[in-house]
Amino acid sequence: MVWHDENPKLLEKIREVFQQVLPGFFLHIENDKVFVRGLLSMWNDAKLFGRYLVEFEFPENYPQRPTHSQRNRKQDKPCAGEAYGAGRQGVSLLSRCAVATLFRKNKFY
């Protein structure tokens, strides 16, 4: 059984928080995998300089957190999770950090 079937309340909580904090991002379940997709707008000094379609895939063992040693092996990735975006490398890094912060603040682990 996959995590979102075992814990539907967690899935609903994640969905609600994304709707509140990032209203343009939505949860999708495809082949028992959970994805968050949405449009990320990048602003600088109140000027829009780009929009990027971003997708996050939840790991199959979610919500288990990586151990300390696993985090240390990924020093090139300062935030948990993976992000894939069309565009600049900085967008993926920013997206990954933003989602990791969102998850820590809402205690999804």
Token look-up 């919500």 returns 63
State the residue range of the domain holding 87.
3-105
Over residues 7-27, the pLDDT tens digits come to: 899 899 888 888 888 888 899
Please state at what angle helix 8-21 crosses helix 89-105, rounded to 10 degrees. 120
CA distance linking residue 12 with residue 66, whole number of Å = 23
Specify the pTM. 0.58
3-state DSSP percent of the chain in helix, strand and coil, to 5: 40, 30, 35
Task: Give the model's pLDDT for residue 51.
Answer: 85
pLDDT reading at 60 higher than 70: yes
How many folded domains does the chain comprise? 1
Residue 34: is its pLDDT beyond 70? Answer: yes
